[in-house]
Amino acid sequence: MNINCNGKLIDLSSPKVMGILNLTPDSFYDGGKYSSDILLLDHVEKMLIDGATFIDIGAYSSRPNAQHISEEEELNRLIPILKLIVKEHPEILISVDTFRSKVATESVAIGACMINDISAGSLDTEMFSTMGKLKVPYIIMHMKGTPKTMQVNTNYKDIIHEIIVYFSNKINQLRLLGVNDIIIDVGFGFGKTLDQNYKLLKELSLFKILDLPILTGISRKSMLYKLLETTPENALNATTVANTVALLNGTSILRVHDVKEAVEAIKIVALLKK
């Protein structure tokens, strides 16, 4: 199972790690942490050295009840940093975490090779047609509502079935528009209760019916630290446990804050699967 990133074929039959770079001051875990270009570039370099295949850059916080920001503010946060990273690391494979078509277009023009959309086109009617033109891999995530409202409605009759139908419809639309490389993300923590999140983790392998790579973004999330009555800062061990379960259930990409530990989990699971 390959995806084409800026002309490079990335083989996802062996799971890969996507390192998170948040440019938001209010992210639930590392908001405002990289206050200078030097700190930011050091962090990117560390993630690459630790084994990240992709770096996912986000300038819009999607944590529950996150503050909405304008497209202009998102671009002002994102574009200078994107240019800086591409200049320092020309070969880097950058994913941009955005639901806005204009942000996606400008990011790919600078050098991003993938778009990660938490809304799967639901928050910008131009996004799908834009992705058809950009011809880059597209991560579509399942979410109910918006980051501000997503925890209000968590009612499902059959959560697995409903999310598979949701993805099937989105995939059909994207295929008609010529989008070749699609990656699915079930959206842990986005419009799901704690029990629903664990049901999705336990039954993640059922999503292989869609025959697409699965991305899992579970790093230091509340489904881990609330269950264990701790904090995001103390949820690294829980993250590794959950990532290991996700890998055993067919995940192709782990989106994480802690790259080294995710790479280690992949190596151990790979040996078990031989």
Which residues is 21 bridged to in the sheet? 57
Query: Distance between CA 223 and CA 175 in Å, rounded?
Result: 33
Residue 39: alpha-carbon gap to chain centroid: 22
Single-letter code of the amino acid located at 225: Y
Residue 172: alpha-carbon gap to chain centroid: 21
Single-letter code of the amino acid located at 103: V
Nearest alpha carbon to residue 187 among 240, 117, 91, 234 = 117
For residue 50 the two structure tokens come to: 């630790």
Which of 16, 100, 192, 255 is catalytic? The answer is 255
CA angle 56, 251, 164 (to 5 degrees): 100
Which of 221, 226, 267, 274 is catalytic? The answer is 221
Query: Distance between CA 266 and CA 189 in Å, rounded?
Result: 23
For residue 115 the two structure tokens come to: 């778009």
Residue 100 known to be catalytic:
no
Instruction: Please check whether residue 254 is in contact with residue 246, taking contact to mean a CB–CB distance below 8 angstroms.
Output: yes
Residue 255 known to be catalytic:
yes
Nearest alpha carbon to residue 193 among 159, 164, 233 = 159
User: Where in the sequence numbering do the catalytic residues fall?
Assistant: 221, 255
